[in-house]
Amino acid sequence: MHGARVLVEFVSSAVGGRDIPLVLSPTYRPHFRVGDGEHLGVTFIEEGRIPVACGEVVEARVLFAYSPSVEYKALQVGTQFSVLEGARIVGVGIVVEVFQHAPAL
């Protein structure tokens, strides 16, 4: 399955982000959006992580949830994106690596 390694920073509720820290796990499935483009569904594949506080930059791996049915070519190395929960921007990030198969955990 296709996916990416990303650096992500979740923003505080003061600027529209989350009120509580987030644990990145396969149950967290937000959307990434590049500019004003379409919402691209992703699934975080991190396990056993501690909660991520707002303002903290973390490295994580995501799978492209709807690939190959949905085109994810907007997410290339160096691309900046927004992390969305519904219409709300809860974080920002940058793509560090794109992979064709999920690396072993």
The answer to whether the beta carbons of residues 92 and 8 sit under 8 Å apart is: yes
For 48-91, what is each residue's pLDDT tens digit?
A: 677 888 888 999 999 999 998 999 999 999 999 999 999 999 99
Where is pLDDT greater, at 46 or 91?
91
Element (H, E) at 90: strand 88-99
CATH for 3-99 (1.10.150.120, 2.115.10.20, 2.40.30.10, 1.20.5.510): 2.40.30.10
Place of tokens 């644990």: 23
